[in-house]
Amino acid sequence: MTVSPLIFCERTGMWALAWRKSLRATSVRLIETRSPAECLERLAETPAAAVSLEWRAENAESTCEILVRCNDEFPAALAIVTADRGLAGAEALAREAGAAWFVTSTRQLPALAAVVCRHLARQPLAALSLRERIWGQLPWDRAG
C-alpha cells in the first residue's frame, strides 16, 4: 500500500502544468499517464487516488469508460474531468458517468487542489510501512 497520489491522464500537457502549479505547496504526488490503460493500471496500485482525466472530443467514449470503471472498481477514488471550454456541454455526461468534478479552466484548479488534498488526507496512513511513508513524501514517483 502506498500513499495515494493525483493520477492524471492527458495528451496535451496543459492540465499537467496547471496541476503542478496548483499543488506546488502541497505534498501530493503527481503521476502523469498518457493512456487509459496506464491510468487504470496506476489506479489499481493506489485505489484511493484522485484521478484527473482530460476530456476531448476524440476520447469522450474512453473517458466515460474510465469514469464508470473508477466508480465500479475503485469507489474510494476521486474522479475529476478537465476539458476545453468548448466542451462544457459534456459536463452532464461526465457527471453521469461518475465524475465528481468537471472543470473547463485552469483557473479552477487552485480551489480544486484543496478538494484533492482533503480527499487524499482522509485515506488511512496507519497501515503504511516506514518505507512507504518515506516514498509517499518524495516529490517524484518511484516507478516513473
Averaged over 59-65, what is the pLDDT?
Answer: 93
Assigned domain for 41 exists = yes
* 71's grid cell: 466508480
Give yes or no for residue 21 having a pLDDT over 50.
yes
- Model pLDDT, residue 3: 57
Whole-number pLDDT of residue 58 = 93
Owning domain of residue 11:
6-136
Residue 143 within any structural domain of the chain = no
Could you tell me if residue 37 is inside a domain? yes
Q: What is the CA radius of gyration of the chain?
A: 14
User: 56 — phi, psi (to 5°)?
Assistant: -130, 160
Decide if 113 is inside a domain.
yes
CB contact set of 134 (below 8 Å; sequence gap of 6+) = none
Of 3 and 126, the one with more pLDDT: 3
CATH assignment of the domain containing 123: 3.40.50.2300
CA–CA separation, 115 vs 121, rounded Å?
10
pLDDT at 111: 92
Structural domains of the chain, count:
1
On whether residue 1 sits in a domain, the answer given is: no
- 11: in domain: yes
pTM above 0.75, yes or no: yes
What value does the mean pLDDT take over residues 108-127?
A: 83
Domain assignment present for residue 85? The answer is yes
Q: Look at residue 142 and tell me if it is in a domain.
A: no
Q: Is the pLDDT of residue 144 over 50?
A: no
